[in-house]
DNA sequence: ACCTGAACACCGTTCAAGT
DNA sequence: ACCTGAACACCGTTCAAGT
């Protein structure tokens, strides 16, 4: 029961501690400003220690991106299972999952969408999580096309891309604080971004504009 | 006519030379990798020289961002003047101006949309150029609403925001090379992004889907 | 007025040496 | 197996000193 006897060295799990500390620091000063030395310092470990767990700075960032996209994927799949209604409603839920995730994890959202700080190509899990969300999107689009709610004349990939781009753009504008410039009060940012997304989906639906 | 006599010191215009060299280097390795020392080296000047022209690294990046948004604004205003058709057509042209600018100036687009590498709040010209493009958007949306082409029941700002987000998201996906993942062949990226944007605008138009 | 070049306080990364 | 801490080659930034 001697705690220091079983503790490997300094940490039970230095790897995870480094990831956590990086996110903490990023929340305070921004991801670009975070240095591995500072992370190591905060965790109470020497400057060389992180390199026992990550090949380099990019590898650490890639690990954070992997975990982030994993969480997004899980959230998307969970929300889809509990979603009600037709394919168009499911698409709205999908957009909502994405936006809510981005707004509640701004650091991770920024990292993942930077595509500069980490190495997308080298990570299979990253690619798989992305592909999973994409295939949910494309399946719903195909369903909606078959139900006559989205135009069958347009390739499903393009409709999916348009939806994804819209959600992504809105998330970005919200996270970067651009919404006030479009007349949105700070108190209603999340609300407005969400209803803007609903508007975009609704607008694509064949036969809407019932006014 | 002695050239060294009238030359201020090393350069006729070190400031501009630094900006140019930064963009050159960024195109090769990415903006984050660019160091001021490397820029100075390439320009053939000492490591301290850049600080005579820019308070710090961010100030240099801010100057590049200013020039970039100025160019975007000019392009948008020029293209609007030569545009034909109704307000919806003008909105398509607006999206096209934006997308084409982003695709032909990826470094500048990335910088401007990073909002981390430079100081948006400190630059009046930056804010003015942004506001100019935004007000073009909002004016066209208002026109389209009055012509019954866009829903009057939705605030113009939200429609503008939705359009801006879509264009922005598409530009980002294209510049970051995400289009192949959506079934777009590399040879047709620009084409597809543009037609996707047209699709989004067309889709919002009241009374379309003529099939 | 504009630039140099040393100086300072940082980095990321490596690697022998320690436990 | 995992960590330390010195070492190396870099940074951004400042500032006396030069022209």
Tokens of A127: 């690619």
Indicate the angle between helix axes A87-104 and A106-114, nearest 10 degrees. Answer: 100
pLDDT per residue as tens digits for the range B37-59: 999 999 999 999 999 999 999 99
A172 touches chain B (CB under 8 A): yes
Q: What is the pLDDT of residue A10?
A: 64
Task: Indicate the pTM of the whole model.
Answer: 0.94
Q: Kindly list the distances between the CA atom of residue A166 and the CA atoms of A128, A171, B35, B164, B211, in Å, as whole numbers in the listed order.
A: 22, 8, 34, 9, 24
Distance from CA(A181) to C1'(D13), angstroms, rounded: 34
Q: Please indicate whether, in this complex, the C-beta atoms of B114 and A113 are within 8 angstroms of each other.
A: no
Structure tokens at A126: 């990253």
Return the nearest residue to C3, CA–C1'.
Answer: B49
- Nucleotide whose C1' lies closest to the alpha carbon of residue A15: D2
Task: pLDDT band for A12, please (50, 70, 90 cuts).
Answer: confident
pLDDT at B10: 64
Q: Where are the alpha helices (DSSP H) in chain A?
A: 3-6, 14-29, 36-43, 57-81, 87-104, 106-114, 124-146, 156-175, 189-204
User: How far, rounded to the nearest angstrom, does the alpha carbon of residue B25 sit from its chain's CA centroid?
Assistant: 19
Tell me which of A3-17, A108-122, B71-85, B100-114 is least confident: A3-17
Decide if A166 and B161 are in contact by the 8 Å CB cutoff: no
Residue A210 has pLDDT above 50, yes or no: no
A124-151: pLDDT as tens digits: 999 999 999 999 999 999 999 999 999 9
Q: What is the mean pLDDT of residues A26-49?
A: 97
Q: Which domains does chain A have, with CATH numbers?
A: 14-52 (1.10.10), 64-203 (1.10.357.10)
**In the predicted model, what is the mean pLDDT of chain A?**
93
Chain B's closest residue to A181, CA to CA, is B131
Kindly tell me if the per-residue pLDDT of A32 is higher than 80: yes
pLDDT on residue A6: 40
Contact A173, B165 (CB under 8 A): yes
Model pLDDT, residue B207? 78
Q: Report the Cα A130 to chain-centroid distance in Å.
A: 10
Looking at the complex, does the CB of residue A139 fall below 8 Å from at least one CB of chain B?
no
Cβ within 7 Å of nucleic strand D, residues: A 8-11, 14, 45-49, 52-53; B 34-38, 47-48, 51, 55-58
Q: Name the average pLDDT for chain B.
A: 93
DSSP B159-204: HHHHHHHHHHHHHHHHHTT-GGGGT--GGGHHHHHHHHHHHHHHHH
pLDDT confidence of residue B7: 44
Does the pLDDT of residue A2 top 70, yes or no? no
Q: Using CA atoms in the order A133, A139, A143, A149, what is the torsion angle rounded to 10 degrees?
A: 50
């Amino acid at each position: 029961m001697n705690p220091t006897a079983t503790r490997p060295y300094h940490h039970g799990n230095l790897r995870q501690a480094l990831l956590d500390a990086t996110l903490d620091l990023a929340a305070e000063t921004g991801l670009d400003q975070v240095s591995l030395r500072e992370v190591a310092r905060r965790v109470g470990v020497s400057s060389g220690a992180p390199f026992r767990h990550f090949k380099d700075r990019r590898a650490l960032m890639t690990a954070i991106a992997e975990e982030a996209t994993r969480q997004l994927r899980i959230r998307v799949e969970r929300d889809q299972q509990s979603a009600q209604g037709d394919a168009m409603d499911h698409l709205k839920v999908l957009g909502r999952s994405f936006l809510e995730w981005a707004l509640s994890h701004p650091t991770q959202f920024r990292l993942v969408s930077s595509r500069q700080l980490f190495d997308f190509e080298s990570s299979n899990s990253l690619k798989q999580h992305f592909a999973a969300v994409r295939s949910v999107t494309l399946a719903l689009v195909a369903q909606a096309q078959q139900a006559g709610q989205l135009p069958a004349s347009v390739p499903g990939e393009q409709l999916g891309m348009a939806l994804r781009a819209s959600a992504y753009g809105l998330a970005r504008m919200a996270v970067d604080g651009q919404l006030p410039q479009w007349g949105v009060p700070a108190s209603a940012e999340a609300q407005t971004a969400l209803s803007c997304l609903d508007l975009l989906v609704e607008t694509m639906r064949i036969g809407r504009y019932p006014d």
